[in-house]
Amino acid sequence: MIEMRKTLGDKGTMIAYGTGSSWKSGQDVNKSNTINQLLIDSIKTALYSGYRHIDCAEFYGTEREVGIALNQFLADNPNLSRADFFITSKVFQSISDIRRAISASLSRIGTTYLDLYLIHSPFYLSKSLSSTWSQMESLVDAGLTHYIGVSNYRIEDFQSFLPSARIKPVCNQIEFHPYLQQPELIEFVKKREYWCVVILLWFP
């Protein structure tokens, strides 16, 4: 689950249903057509329970299930539309071509835009953080995502690209639980008013 600590629109403030961790398929999302029906049913249960924010990622291999569940839910609830939901996804394996990566994610989910798109990790990038962030900014310009942010970024990672950033990251999605609290990083993020802090609530 994810708690948004600052407003990203009405739906962005809600606790999200996450499709990582135990749901992660471990398969190449660009090659596998395997569908996890249990995950689809779980997401639909979350939606019927009132969740309106769903978190997924290219790396998790769960984007197809999110799309199937959401579209089935919308078909059963014609009073609702895509605009009533907040969908977050992340790029990792396909980071070298972010435009193609988000296009593939949108296709798998079955939507024309994301509400929030994140760089899943600052590690293993083929380009500098500032160059990569510039590509993320172009996605907002193109209307492919409403907001952009990062995940698993450290203070030094922010310092390497913020001076040249035209659009500031709205969040840093991090792991947070009793065994990993990261107080300095959380304080660093909280001091910047344009960021929300996204907390992963991890249960062993």
CB contact at 8 A, 50 and 43: no
| Three-class SS of 63-102 | HHHHHHHHHHHHHHCCCCCHHHCEEEEEECCCHHHHHHHH
177 part of the active site: no
Catalytic residue, chosen from 17, 51, 53, 120, is: 120
Question: Mapping DSSP to helix (H, G, I), strand (E, B) and coil, where does residue 184 land?
Answer: helix
Tokens matching residue 96: 């070298």
Catalytic residue, chosen from 17, 51, 53, 60, is: 60
60 part of the active site: yes
CB contact at 8 A, 18 and 59: no
Positions annotated as catalytic residues are 60, 120
